[in-house]
């Protein structure tokens, strides 16, 4: 009942609190008429939180590793599951070979969530079985693969995402000795990828639960790779190396998310289960990898029709304000957002474009570096508002707001939008419209 009352109040506000900034007489000698220009920022913005059931993270160029917990999002553990590719090696029978080291190399992607000065304890588990996907299978953020019970190695990571230096983790010499010996023996296990992964199914990098940061690392030919350093000994000693790259076709970031005790604990997946901001204490939640995004509607826009005999929308701007103190120190706001137009069945129809009708709008992020209060995203919704002004039922479109596809699948970039109407900074639609009346 309180929501119905609120809805009625908002309709009244939308009709009667607009500012009139112009008044003209047209054709008074023929027909007495007037037109006026008005402005209002009280059209209701109904922003909801939606949970995506799952997303494909296989083959991404960024992986996430770590553990973090906070009051808004709960407990999140990000593990990376990776199959490594075989490598070519032809030994010289008159030479001998000696191991130097076996090293995991990681390069920061610049993404983080949590305390970047804290240490992370990471355990490496071997996969129980090779990753073997059928035609209709894939690897998703919530996919869990069976692991061996005991980790084969544990090490400490220092996140430092702002540093350019690569991270080098020395792996057990026993692994290196075994690999080098079998390479020198020209073991057939290296002949094909199928043979290799049947012998070495892959590993999972799993963080301990007492960590306080999740960090992103690049996945490419020089990062998230294992390099075997060795000496080629003949009349001289030559330093050489072999690199085992991540086979991105069978590698992904896996997420475990416990939302118990958080504002979003009860949200179920599916756009049909969208939860309105007024049921989330005036908040709407968006985050990559955990799969939260937003739906937006404007339920009182049509009430502007009551302002006169003919009403036309001149412009409409949407402003979205991240909650104060919800970003900056331990997490990253997305630099770009996407707005999608959907039909009444939530089927995607198109992007929201700029004035040229070609350029996709990205949210035009404005950041208040000094106080952190006037940070906002903005979208020009003039065309959308005009197309939906007066539309009802099956003809009325909606909007979906999300991170870009690659950021959604590879980072924990996030925003918590505030929509408490009593606050100065809340989600708002500013509309300029023209009213024509024949007297």
- What pLDDT digit, counting tens, does each position of 186-228 carry? 999 999 999 999 999 999 999 999 889 999 999 999 999 999 9
Same domain, 124 and 161: yes
Q: Give the pLDDT mean for 254-275.
A: 96
Same domain, 132 and 112: yes
Report if residue 155 sits inside a domain. Answer: yes
pLDDT at 324: 84
Domain end position, chosen among 201, 232, 258: 258
Report if residue 281 sits inside a domain. Answer: yes
String of b and e for 85-116 (b: at least 16 CB within 10 Å)? Answer: bbeebeeeeeeebebeebbbbbbbbebbbbeb
Same domain, 236 and 276: no
Report if residue 263 sits inside a domain. Answer: no
Same domain, 243 and 287: no
pLDDT at 372: 66
With a cut of 70, say whether residue 19 has pLDDT above it. Answer: no
Domain of residue 370 covers 2-53+269-438
Sheet strands (E) in 115-172: 120-126, 153-157, 167-170
Same domain, 39 and 82: no
Between CA 343 and CA 203 the distance in angstroms is 43
Report if residue 167 sits inside a domain. Answer: yes
| 3-state SS class at 418 | strand
Report if residue 313 sits inside a domain. Answer: yes
Same domain, 282 and 427: yes
The bridge status of strand 225-233 relative to strand 96-106 is antiparallel
Q: Give the pLDDT mean for 45-62.
A: 96
Same domain, 307 and 333: yes
Same domain, 431 and 289: yes
Same domain, 83 and 131: yes
User: In terms of Cα–Cα distance, which of 296, 282, 300 is closest to 417?
Assistant: 282
Same domain, 22 and 72: no
User: In terms of Cα–Cα distance, which of 207, 271, 213, 224 is closest to 401?
Assistant: 271
- Look at the chain and report how many structural domains it folds into: 2
Q: Which helix (H) or strand (E) holds 62?
A: strand 62-70
Domain end position, chosen among 258, 288, 317: 258
Q: What percent of the chain has pLDDT over 90?
A: 75
With a cut of 50, say whether residue 77 has pLDDT above it. Answer: yes
pLDDT at 430: 96
280-315 pLDDT tens trace: 999 999 999 999 999 999 999 999 999 988 999 999
The bridge status of strand 246-258 relative to strand 167-170 is unpaired
Q: How many CB atoms lie within 10 A of CB 437?
A: 14
Between CA 240 and CA 233 the distance in angstroms is 10
Same domain, 162 and 142: yes
Same domain, 277 and 214: no
Of 178 and 425, the structure prediction assigns the larger pLDDT to 178
């Amino acid at each position: 009942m309180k929501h119905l009352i609120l809805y009625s109040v908002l309709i009244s506000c939308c009709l009667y609190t607009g500012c009139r900034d112009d008044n003209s007489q047209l054709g008074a000698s023929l027909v007495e008429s007037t037109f006026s220009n008005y402005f209002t920022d009280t059209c209701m913005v109904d922003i909801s939180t939606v949970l995506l059931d799952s997303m494909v993270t296989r083959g991404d160029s960024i992986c996430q590793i770590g553990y973090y917990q906070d009051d808004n999002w709960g407990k999140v553990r990000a593990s990376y599951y990776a199959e490594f590719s075989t490598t070519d090696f032809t030994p010289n029978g008159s030479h001998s070979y000696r191991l130097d080291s076996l090293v995991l190399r990681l390069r920061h992607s610049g993404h983080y969530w949590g305390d970047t000065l804290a240490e992370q304890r990471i355990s490496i588990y071997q996969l129980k079985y090779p990753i073997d996907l059928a035609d209709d299978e894939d690897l998703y953020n919530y996919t869990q693969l069976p692991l061996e019970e005991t980790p084969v190695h544990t090490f400490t990571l220092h996140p430092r995402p702002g540093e350019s230096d690569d991270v080098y983790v020395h792996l057990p010499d026993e692994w290196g000795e075994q690999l080098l010996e079998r390479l020198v023996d020209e073991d057939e296990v290296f002949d094909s990828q199928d043979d290799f992964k049947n012998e070495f199914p892959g590993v999972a990098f799993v963080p301990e639960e007492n960590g306080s940061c999740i960090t992103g690392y690049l996945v490419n030919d020089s990062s998230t790779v294992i390099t075997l350093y060795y000496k080629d000994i003949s009349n001289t000693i030559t330093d050489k190396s072999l690199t085992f790259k991540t086979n991105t076709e069978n590698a992904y970031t896996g997420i475990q998310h416990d939302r118990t005790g958080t504002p979003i604990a009860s949200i179920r997946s599916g756009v049909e289960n969208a939860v309105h901001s007024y049921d989330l204490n005036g908040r709407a939640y968006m985050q990559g990898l955990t799969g939260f995004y937003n739906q937006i509607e404007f339920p009182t826009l049509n009430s502007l029709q009551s302002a006169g005999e003919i009403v036309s929308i001149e412009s409409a701007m949407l402003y979205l304000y991240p909650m104060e103190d919800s970003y900056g120190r331990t997490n990253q706001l997305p630099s770009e957002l996407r707005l999608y137009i959907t039909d009444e069945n939530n089927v995607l129809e198109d992007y929201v474009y700029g004035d040229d009708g070609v350029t996709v709008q990205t949210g035009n992020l404005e950041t208040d570096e000094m106080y952190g209060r006037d940070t906002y995203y903005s979208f020009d919704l003039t065309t959308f508002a005009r197309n939906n002004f007066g539309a009802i039922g099956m003809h009325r479109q909606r909007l979906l707001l999300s991170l870009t596809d690659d950021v959604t699948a590879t980072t924990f970039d996030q925003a918590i939008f505030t929509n408490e109407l009593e606050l100065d900074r809340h989600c708002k639609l500013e509309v300029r419209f023209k009213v024509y009346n024949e007297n």
